[in-house]
Amino acid sequence: MEKWQDELPDDLKANVNLSKYDSMEAALRGGIEAQSRIGRSIVVPNDDSDADEMKQYYDRLQQTANGKLVMHPDSAEGDHSAEFWSQLGVPEESKGYHTPEDMTMQNEVVESVRDMAKKAGLTDKQFQAQIAILNEQSVEQAAQFEQLRADDAAIVTSKFGLAEPARKTAIEALVSKFADPDHPLGELNAAAYLMLNNIVEAFTGKGPQVFNQPSGDTAMSPDEIDDEIAKIDKTLMKDGYGEGHKRLIRKKVKLLEMRQ
């Protein structure tokens, strides 16, 4: 059976691309269509391509996609850049970030994290992962803080015993009297309670006397002062008021001042 390719030169007869056409006309039309497709083809740039060639490449991609192609911000401008980040999940505003349902963090902290996420360009999923980690850390820190408070309370109770309410009342009165109103002490821990209790007892004469006493090794406790005064009185009664009585009286007066 005669074929239309029989009239062609031998090298064309053997071309497999022509064998798919039924006629010369079909082959010509196919060639025209192929040429048209070549004209519409996109040449992928290589490492040596300059900025203009890269721009032509991306412009051609956009034309082929009828403007629906989302370009990377490095090669896009205006709305195309914003659309890229939007499709990745970056909200337009910080309030667009969604928080997990089991959040326990304060709203002010959450809003602060939202603002930082927006500045960093995080996606909504990235924000949720980050806020979940921060929330977990917050819960752990709160538990640790409550344990420290419980430990402190146990120390105070063990030291004060049944007198705890009365001693705390006295300490609160001391703080109210002497604390700087512009710089409050805040919540007292065990160490603060024990120190302030010593100060209260010093004021009432039931504890270490740190006021009106000489410093250093010569400091005396109230009991030691009383013992020394008793010795002076005994000496004066025994020996009478001799030559050394003035010195003893001066010493007694000094001890009485220390005892106040």
What is the identity of the amino acid at 133?
A: I
Least confident of 111-120, 125-134, 225-234: 225-234
The two structure tokens encoding residue 101: 């349902």
Distance CA 144, CA 142 (A): 5
Domain assignment present for residue 71? The answer is no
pLDDT in tens, 57-100: 777 777 776 666 666 666 666 666 677 777 778 888 899 999 98
Residue 74 to residues 1, 42, 55, 68, 81: CA-CA distances in angstroms?
61, 20, 11, 17, 8
pLDDT at 215: 46
User: Which range, 31-35, 133-137, 219-223, is most confident?
Assistant: 133-137
Residue 227 lies in a domain: yes
Position 18 in a domain: yes
217 pLDDT above the threshold of 70: no
Average pLDDT over residues 222-244: 77
DSSP 67: T
For position 153, what pLDDT does the model report? 93
**pLDDT value at 242 more than 60:** yes
pLDDT score, position 79: 66
Is residue 6 a contact partner of residue 13, using CB atoms and an 8 Å limit?
Answer: yes
* Dihedral sign computed on CA atoms, order 60, 63, 68, 73: positive
Domain presence at residue 109: no
Give domain status of residue 24, yes or no: yes
What's the total number of domains in the chain? 2
Give the mean model confidence (pLDDT) for residues 197-212.
68
pLDDT of residue 68: 63
Question: Which single residue is written with the structure tokens 């500045």?
Answer: 119
The more confidently predicted of residues 40 and 52 is 52
- Collapsing DSSP to helix, strand or coil, 186 comes out as coil
Contact 138, 167 (CB under 8 A): no
Cα-based distances in Å from 160 to 149, 174, 194, 205: 16, 17, 9, 18
Cα 251 to Cα 255: distance, rounded to the nearest angstrom = 6
Give percent of the chain with pLDDT exceeding 90. Answer: 23
Q: Which residue has the higher pLDDT, 125 or 233?
A: 125
Could you tell me if 73 and 81 are in contact, meaning their C-beta atoms sit under 8 angstroms apart? Answer: yes
Given a cut of 80, whether residue 143 has pLDDT beyond it is yes
Q: Would you place residue 184 in the very low, low, confident or very high pLDDT band (cuts 50, 70, 90)?
A: confident
39 Cβ contact list (under 8 Å, min separation 6): none
Boundaries of domain holding 19: 4-40
Residue 81 lies in a domain: no
Asked if residue 237 is part of any domain, the answer here is yes
Encoded tokens for 103: 């959040």
Residue 196: per-residue pLDDT: 92
pLDDT in tens, 160-177: 898 899 999 999 988 888
Q: List, in order, residues 6 or more apart from 138 with CB less than 8 Å away.
A: 104, 105, 109
Termini Cα distance of the chain? 138
Average pLDDT, the chain: 79
What does the alpha-carbon distance between residue 50 and residue 56 come to, in Å, rounded to a whole number? 10
Per-residue model confidence (pLDDT) at position 18: 77
* 11 band by pLDDT with thresholds 50, 70 and 90: confident
Radius of gyration (Cα) for the chain, nearest Å?
Answer: 47
Res 72: pLDDT: 66
Q: What percent of the chain has pLDDT above 70? A: 80
Q: CA 142 to CA 3: how far, in whole Å?
A: 89
Is 12 part of any domain?
yes
pLDDT at 28: 78
